[in-house]
Amino acid sequence: MKNLSNQSRAPIYEALQKFREMRVVPFDVPGHKHGRGNPELTEFLGQQCVGIDVNSMKPLDNLCHPVSVIREAEILAAEAFGAAHAFLMVGGTTSSVQSMVLSCCKRGDKIILPRNVHRSVINALVLCGAIPVYVNPDVDHRLGISLGMSREQVQNAIEKHPDAVAVLVNNPTYYGICSDIRAIVDMAHRAGMLCLADEAHGTHFYFGENMPVSAMAAGADMAAVSMHKSGGSLTQSSLLLTGPNMNPGHVRQIINLTQTTSGSYLLMSSLDISRRNLALRGREVFRKVIEMADYAREEINAVGGYYAFGRELINGNSIYDFDPTKLSVHTRDIGLAGIEVYDILRDEYDIQIEFGDIGNILAYLSIGDRPQELERLVSALAEIRRRYQKDSAGLLSQEYIDPEVVCSPQEAFYAQKKSVPIRESAGAVCSEFVMCYPPGIPILAPGERITGEILDYIEYAKSKGCSMTGPEDPKIEHINILTDGGKPHGIMV
């Protein structure tokens, strides 16, 4: 049980309140000097905000080496999340994920992971030179989405690569699908490996009832938790959690390799206040979120044509559990790609959802949502079906294409390369990323073979209006490929 008397504290917030009352004269950075030097910014953001956009100083501690209020906030966060240690992160969960991987892997080390990871994981491999052992996830062919890792797949990877140093798990995926993380932790530990969790979309697992198990409760060694997604903190604020087997001093050193030395007190105070809110009220809040999501699923499915999927997908293995707050909706059966529904909702109904891809949309529900907004969404989807439904023939459904890994991400990223028209790249080895964002799962990653199927997918996604990112060429008409064809160092299971 969490110590609620301690959890009612917010040390960074309290220190900033005291600082505000002191009326300190600033002869330090930032240069706007509590907003006086930039009146337009102050008018836009408000004095309350810019007045606490300050630099590290003794009364406010230092994120790189916390000893007072930031340290207290991290201790409270660790208690709230059931972790041995917690680190406040101001570079987004991308920074948390990269610090997690870099804490465990060095050049040449193998790490077992699903291929449907966020690009931040593969970016970390570019930085450290670790070798990915990809477990190709199962695919739901009706929905066209990749699932979790099955226990058998993970065990097979561990047996084939006993020298791997870690196993990484998505908990959950963007669509809300969870692998059997308890079993995977156990398999990894029995093999002498660490277990890492990308929990960018699982903050609420730590506070809600009837949720999938959190990484820390499952015994994972590290977890990257995106507090700003479902936890209510400001965008770009995150937490990195560690278990008892990790050396917190080493993890701090790794974090400090890439994280800013000028940590934003706006972001850190938002983490502090949001942690307190979740610890004190999270159970009640997320119970209401689940009720709203369940109601919306039922109403959307009653519209017909759509499929708002949920826990009925659970199969005990590759879909071991499902995040009940995720409102994922399959749109292909009404003849529209998810990204087309996404665009119509925004452009014609002033409804901004999280993402749309080839076959699905995701409405992200969390602590700030209200039933009346869900009613608007359900009504809009019903109208869109009535106005725009068409034959689904010719629509692609596959969201995941098994990659052929030719060399490691680091080797490919830094290798000699050349730019070619994308349609002339089939058979070559890619040296950069190509992805739809969101969700940020690469269609191509450095070191992977470019195939005709992948090129067709990219072309189709572009034609449907997906936001494509990654390559040097912003129009994605050219792509960088390896000049020597690549060396065979990548590993697939």
The structural domains of the chain, with segments of one domain joined by +, span 61-278, 281-388, 409-492
Could you give the CA distance from residue 352 to residue 269 in angstroms, rounded to a whole number? Answer: 27
On whether the CB atoms of residues 391 and 335 are closer than 8 A, the answer is yes
Residues 60/19, Cβ–Cβ less than 8 Å: yes
- pLDDT for 47 equals 93
The residue among 201, 236, 191, 208 whose CA lies nearest residue 95 is 236
Do the beta carbons of residue 11 and residue 69 sit within 8 Å? yes
Task: Quote the radius of gyration of the chain (alpha carbons, Å).
Answer: 23
Return the closest-CA partner of residue 202 out of 127, 148, 264, 269. 148
CA within 13 Å, CB half, 211: 28
Residue 215's nearest CA partner among 202, 233, 230 is 202
Give the per-residue pLDDT at 399. 62
**Under 8 Å CB-to-CB from 476, ≥6 apart: which residues?**
422, 434, 458, 462, 468
Peptide bond into 439 cis (omega under 30): yes
Tokens 């910014």 correspond to what residue? 41
Q: In this structure, what token pair is assigned to residue 385?
A: 């079906």
Tell me which CATH code domain 61-278 carries.
3.40.640.10
For 19, 22, 52, 85, 241, the CA distances from 45, given in Å and listed in that order, are: 19, 22, 11, 33, 31
C-alpha to C-alpha distance for 384 and 282, rounded to whole angstroms: 34
Cβ-proximal residues to 411 (8 Å cutoff; 6+ apart), any chain: 447, 486, 487, 489
Task: Give the phi and the psi of residue 430 in degrees, each rounded to 5.
Answer: -75, 145
For helices 452-464 and 338-349, the axis angle rounded to 10 degrees is 10
> For position 144, what pLDDT does the model report?
86
Contact assessment for residue 223 and residue 195, using Cβ atoms and an 8 Å cutoff: no
Q: Comparing C-alpha atoms, which of 105, 103, 73 is closest to residue 90?
A: 73
The amino acid present at 35, given as its one-letter code, is G
Residue 491's pLDDT is 58
How far is the C-alpha of 451 from the C-alpha of 457, rounded, in Å?
A: 10
Secondary structure in 3-state letters for the chain: CCCHHHHCCCHHHHHHHHHHHHCCCCCCCCCCCCCCCCHHHHHHHCHHHHCCCCCCEHHHECCCCCCCHHHHHHHHHHHHHCCCEEEEECCHHHHHHHHHHHHHCCCCCEEEEECCCCHHHHHHHHHHCCEEEEECCCEECCCCEECCCCHHHHHHHHHHCCCCCEEEEECCCCCCEECCHHHHHHHHHHCCCEEEEEECCCHHHHCCCCCCCCCCCCCCCEEEECHHHHCCCCCCCEEEEECCCCCHHHHHHHHHHHCCCCCCHHHHHHHHHHHHHHHHHHHHHHHHHHHHHHHHHHHHHHHCCCEEECHHHCCCCCCCEECCCEEEEECHHHCCCHHHHHHHHHHHHCCCCCEECCCEEEEECCCCCCHHHHHHHHHHHHHHHHHHCCCCCCCCCCCCCCCCECCCHHHHHHCCEEEEEHHHCCCCEECCCEEECCCCCEEECCCEECCHHHHHHHHHHHHHCCCEECCCCCCCCEEEEECCCCCCCCEEC
Residues in Cβ contact with 450 at an 8 Å cutoff, skipping those fewer than 6 apart: 425, 426, 427, 428, 429, 430, 444, 479, 481
- What pLDDT sits at residue 23? 82
Helices 92-104 and 119-128 pack at an angle, to 10 degrees, of 40
CATH of domain 409-492: 3.90.100.10
pLDDT of residue 1: 40
Distance, CA of 319 to CA of 208 (rounded, Å):
20
* Domain 281-388 fold: Aspartate Aminotransferase, domain 1 (3.90.1150)
Write out pLDDT tens, residues 142-187: 898 889 999 999 999 999 999 999 999 999 999 999 999 999 999 9
Place of tokens 């991987």: 101
The tokens describing 122, both together, are 């593969």
Regions of the chain where pLDDT drops below 50: 1, 488
